[in-house]
Structure 1
Amino acid sequence: MTGWQRWSALVLASAVASSPAVTAQAASHVFLVQNSGWMEPFYTDPASPYKALVTEVVQAAMAPGDALVLASFNQGLPGAPSPRALLAQQGKPNRNKLRGVLGPLEVGRKPGGKAMADTDLGEAVGGAIDGALGGKPGLVWLFTNNRNSPNNDQATARRNREFYQLIHEGKAIRKALAFPLKMPVQGAQYSAGGLMVYVFAVHEGGARELDALLASGRLKQVITETPARLKPLDQDTVRLVPARVENTPGVRYAVLPDGRLRAELDADRPAAASTPSARITWRLENAMYPYTITSADISAQAALAGEVKPVALQADTVRNLAPGKPQPLASTLSLPVANVPGKWSLAALSTAGSAQVIPGRIEVRLANQRLELSQTFRQRMAELFPGDPLPDIFTPPAQIQGSRAVLPVEVRLQYGAGPLLAMIGGLFALLAAAGALAVAATRGRKVVVIVDGERRTLRTKAGAKSPLYNAAGDQVAELHTTLFGHQLANVREGASVQLADKAGR
């Protein structure tokens, strides 16, 4: 690990931990600014917006509690290490500080002469992941003209492909985006028409940080170009947007503002107790700019409460689905509700009179998928990087033949108050019966028995056993009293004992 890596790694590892208030939300950023010989016009053209762009991207990408390492890079040589840290700190630096750091930055030179430094993109990205981030989650930003030529290697196509393979095959990089920007500059020796800004999300934590940044809209205030997706090409490749829904008895469908589908079921209707179906027309959108899905087999299924059912699609193939040009897709959606709590369940009774929300999903799968780089993107790359073989390195990896996308579904099951009222009524009846039994069990009773022709009146209660004696004082029987009456037990042989009837006879 070089000196810059040890220093920057220490900063990133300790920065967030030093402030407990932001630990859970802070992100780590490494900004790599190319200053090799191929970048000469970006530094020497008086009108070059290169450094100003870096400043504004840093400002947009970072939240107040994030940690940062800003470094220049070209190709590391003995006596001229690369990357070289320019700034490392916790918290977003202000524009004046960034300008003060970037302002003096010039084109790098090889040791012992005036020759301009070469470029090694893989060395820079690898050093940022393993060194500055120390293998931990974060975002690595790369500002480059895509001329990857270590040791002044003229085989830039091969070098670019090696860099691209690092992105696709590197396990640490979970997401990668590229922003092609128009930036015409003229230097003393070279000229350029464009610049590429990459962002690499390291590990799942970095992918979540990138998703949150894109969702915030901060970056779009600086870079308005649509990002080209490099990785992954097998997840969230298409989007299903409900365009028209035909309701069915007992089920009402609605499209939420975030694009999710909501189904409201009335648990008291027979349709909700079976398998409610609906005709839904979707807009199938390609979410993999700059790729066109030239062909793919498509299938879908709905999952709810642990049950999965297929979604019947009108077409089972996709053809020439270009980014930004949705295709209609009709379907029959059957909600799997067999495992949804019934109206007599505890869940239903606890939410009686209101709705219970059950999360579900619709999963779309593409198989035998063929991707092609869109002609529009190729033309734009040719305009920004004339003569550069860059578009070839956007060729999708051959092993990516399938992909999946998930559309969240919210099912609201409306339970009526009838079952709850019935259960409450039954509970009151049960309590009343129990109360009556309790009164009957404790209420004193009067019974008349006849022993040897002598009438006797006894007071007893349910559960009591009363001995009966003759005139000589000998026990001749027992009187057992229950909730339902009286009976004689253990009557002595030869004794005359009997219960008087209701009339006392």
Structure 2
Amino acid sequence: MKVSSALLAYALCVPAAHAASHVFLVQNSGWMEPFYTDPRSPYKALVTEVVQAAMAPDDALVLAAFNQSLPGAPSPRALLAQQGKPDRTRLRNVLNPLEVARKPNSTALADTDLGEAVGAAIDTALGGKPGLVWLFTNNRNSPNNDQATARRNREFYQLIHGGKAIGKALAFPLKMPVQGAQYRAGGLMVYVFAVQPQGVRELDALLASGRLRQVITEPPARLKPLDQDTVRLVPARVENTPGVRYAVLPDGRLRAELDAAAPAPGDARITWRIENAIYPYTISAAHIDAQAALAGHVKPVRLEPDHVRDLAPGKPQTLASSLGLPVANLPGKWSLAALRSAGSAQVLPGRIEVRLADQQLELSQAFRQRMAELFPGDPLPDIFTPPESLQAARATLPVEVRLQYGAGPLMALIGGAFALLGATGALALAATRGRKVVVTVDGEQRTVRTKAGARTPLFNAAGDQVAELHTTLFGHTLANVREGANVRLGR
């Protein structure tokens, strides 16, 4: 793959910092002629506004024009690279002079290679680091439909669906009627490819912020992944069961409140709405099974029915389920977690995992009609054909489990601690308190002062040691009594 030397040089300006990195690829090949020559074309203005919406102030960008690389005419060709979001004036100054490209030493309009452009953005501009690659195109790979077009289309398809670098890919088909001297067009496609997991997180954060919706109001068509979060479960009706109370939170999550002192809760009947979350595809058929996971333990969820048919975007189906929470591994009432949460609730993260097997996807008719309206006469791009290998998918619904612990175990533990402390204090007092002991040596009574742990020698009238008095917490004993000596405890 030939890459512009300018793009290679500018790639060094994209830092590996906490800020996001963006590469904006603006197509200027022959099929794009009306987008450049129609005086009413909003093409360059759209690029400007998407850059403004997509970038945060500290993000980095490379803005490049692309067509198809030829000797003497490298592609992509960098137009701007900098750290920090450029203002609109600078973007206009860079984009306004951009014209439709022609082949070297020829009046023929330049061809296009979408895969070449995206590959250069990932490998060179981003340098293999995370980031977002934006592609502005009319979806046509060559104005003359040369024999290599089909091959380049397959390479582009493989790069998006089969390549490991791209973790998420979205497409925004936009209405943009333009008329040029040679061609006319009715629409434009804006793609965004998230590179590596960090890039996926950056794209998700951007979509959640709503900034992009201020410029592009069309819903994004998901190209990848098609095996994750393909459906969304929304609780519609919940019937409580003894020992557990259910509620649906405003964000659609399910909350379950359990009393730790109650017996194991029974199964609850929950009615769900299952929604298609992979516009523009219809799930024509799939087998569904689910399980609830909590505290490292899982339990099957019985679904009725256990399959979906013709689940189109925006048209949910109803599922009934029998849900029992897996409570075998929950902390007991005497556990440290329970004692810390005494009198309040301990929040445990749980989830319901949904798996779709034998999944069959097809483009929705509404999307096909829209593509035909925007790109009349053009075949549907292969990139919208789901890979045959994607026959399974999964989705996750977070569940918040609140485990309510009473204060009884903690109060009992506190009471036991005080009792133990009192007993320890009593033992300490007994150990340090002085004692008086009466002993008789050779018929003479004596009072000896001692304390627990002491060994006190006893002498006769002649000054000879005749015995030893040992004192403990529990009493006194005589030891080492000299043979023939008359020594005893008491009078």
State TM-score, norm by structure 1.
0.92
User: Could you list the runs of 5+ residues in structure 1 that have no partner in the other structure?
Assistant: 18-22
Partner of 1:482: 472
After superposition, residues 261-276 of structure 1 pair within 5 angstroms as 261-267=254-260, 269-271=261-263, 274-275=264-265
Partner of 1:334: 324
The CA distance in 2 between the partners of 1:424 and 1:388, in whole Å, is 78
From the superposition, tell whether residues 231 and 237 of structure 1 become closer, same or farther in structure 2 (CA, over 3 Å).
same
After superposition, residues 348-363 of structure 1 pair within 5 angstroms as 348-363=338-353
The CA distance in 2 between the partners of 1:162 and 1:385, in whole Å, is 22
The CA distance in 2 between the partners of 1:392 and 1:118, in whole Å, is 19
Deviation at 1:150, TM superposition (A): 7.6
The CA distance in 1 between the partners of 2:155 and 2:319, in whole Å, is 39
The CA distance in 2 between the partners of 1:143 and 1:419, in whole Å, is 65
Q: Which amino acid aligns with 1:254?
A: A
Partner of 1:35: 28
After superposition, residues 81-230 of structure 1 pair within 5 angstroms as 81-149=74-142, 152-153=145-146, 159-230=152-223
Q: Which amino acid aligns with 2:158?
A: Q
Q: Is 1:74 aligned to residue 64 of structure 2? A: no
Deviation at 1:312, TM superposition (A): 2.1
The answer to whether the 8 Å contact 2:31/2:143 transfers is no
From the superposition, tell whether residues 148 and 403 of structure 1 become closer, same or farther in structure 2 (CA, over 3 Å).
same
Q: Which amino acid aligns with 2:191?
A: Y
Q: Is 1:6 aligned to residue 8 of structure 2? A: yes
Partner of 1:406: 396
From the superposition, tell whether residues 9 and 151 of structure 1 become closer, same or farther in structure 2 (CA, over 3 Å).
farther
From the superposition, tell whether residues 150 and 186 of structure 1 become closer, same or farther in structure 2 (CA, over 3 Å).
closer
The CA distance in 1 between the partners of 2:183 and 2:391, in whole Å, is 41
Match of 1:435 among 425, 442, 447: 425
Q: CA RMSD in A?
A: 2.0
The CA distance in 2 between the partners of 1:477 and 1:150, in whole Å, is 119
The CA distance in 2 between the partners of 1:40 and 1:150, in whole Å, is 10
Secondary structure of the structure 2 residue equivalent to 1:170: coil
Higher mean displacement: 414-423 or 232-241? 414-423
Secondary structure of the structure 2 residue equivalent to 1:11: coil
Deviation at 1:104, TM superposition (A): 1.7
After superposition, residues 244-393 of structure 1 pair within 5 angstroms as 244-267=237-260, 269-271=261-263, 274-275=264-265, 277-390=267-380, 392-393=382-383
Higher mean displacement: 242-251 or 195-204? 242-251
Deviation at 1:393, TM superposition (A): 4.1
Secondary structure of the structure 2 residue equivalent to 1:438: helix
Q: Is 1:496 aligned to residue 486 of structure 2? A: yes
Secondary structure of the structure 1 residue equivalent to 2:122: helix
The answer to whether the 8 Å contact 2:30/2:143 transfers is no
Deviation at 1:483, TM superposition (A): 1.1
The Cα offsets for residues 352-379 of structure 1, whole Å up to 9 and x where unpaired, read as 2222222222211111111111111111
Secondary structure of the structure 2 residue equivalent to 1:153: coil
Secondary structure of the structure 1 residue equivalent to 2:158: helix
Partner of 1:20: none
From the superposition, tell whether residues 256 and 157 of structure 1 become closer, same or farther in structure 2 (CA, over 3 Å).
farther
Deviation at 1:476, TM superposition (A): 3.3
The answer to whether the 8 Å contact 1:234/1:403 transfers is yes
The answer to whether the 8 Å contact 1:358/1:413 transfers is yes
Match of 1:64 among 37, 57, 66: 57
Secondary structure of the structure 2 residue equivalent to 1:80: coil
Q: Which amino acid aligns with 1:118?
A: D
Secondary structure of the structure 2 residue equivalent to 1:467: strand
Deviation at 1:157, TM superposition (A): 5.8
The Cα offsets for residues 426-445 of structure 1, whole Å up to 9 and x where unpaired, read as 11111111111111111111
Q: Is 1:464 aligned to residue 454 of structure 2? A: yes
From the superposition, tell whether residues 193 and 154 of structure 1 become closer, same or farther in structure 2 (CA, over 3 Å).
farther
Secondary structure of the structure 2 residue equivalent to 1:12: coil
The CA distance in 1 between the partners of 2:466 and 2:182, in whole Å, is 131
The CA distance in 2 between the partners of 1:224 and 1:410, in whole Å, is 33
Deviation at 1:496, TM superposition (A): 3.3
Secondary structure of the structure 1 residue equivalent to 2:11: helix
Deviation at 1:232, TM superposition (A): 0.8
Identity of matched residues, % = 82
The CA distance in 1 between the partners of 2:393 and 2:400, in whole Å, is 23
Higher mean displacement: 224-233 or 491-500? 491-500
Higher mean displacement: 295-304 or 451-460? 451-460
Q: Which amino acid aligns with 1:184?
A: P
Secondary structure of the structure 2 residue equivalent to 1:430: helix
The Cα offsets for residues 183-214 of structure 1, whole Å up to 9 and x where unpaired, read as 11111111111111111111111111111111
Q: Which amino acid aligns with 1:338?
A: A
Q: Which amino acid aligns with 1:173?
A: I
From the superposition, tell whether residues 389 and 419 of structure 1 become closer, same or farther in structure 2 (CA, over 3 Å).
same
Deviation at 1:276, TM superposition (A): 5.2
Deviation at 1:399, TM superposition (A): 0.7
Secondary structure of the structure 2 residue equivalent to 1:311: strand
Q: Which amino acid aligns with 2:8?
A: R
The CA distance in 1 between the partners of 2:359 and 2:127, in whole Å, is 36
The CA distance in 1 between the partners of 2:481 and 2:219, in whole Å, is 102
The answer to whether the 8 Å contact 2:129/2:196 transfers is yes
User: Could you list the runs of 5+ residues in structure 2 that have no partner in the other structure?
Assistant: none
Deviation at 1:397, TM superposition (A): 0.5
Q: Which amino acid aligns with 1:449?
A: V
Match of 1:55 among 48, 51, 65: 48
State how many pairs are aligned: 489
The CA distance in 1 between the partners of 2:391 and 2:333, in whole Å, is 44
Q: Which amino acid aligns with 2:439?
A: V
The CA distance in 2 between the partners of 1:247 and 1:195, in whole Å, is 51
Match of 2:416 among 414, 419, 426: 426
Deviation at 1:129, TM superposition (A): 1.1
The CA distance in 1 between the partners of 2:313 and 2:6, in whole Å, is 41
Deviation at 1:158, TM superposition (A): 5.8
The answer to whether the 8 Å contact 1:149/1:159 transfers is no
The answer to whether the 8 Å contact 1:147/1:160 transfers is no
The CA distance in 2 between the partners of 1:10 and 1:463, in whole Å, is 80
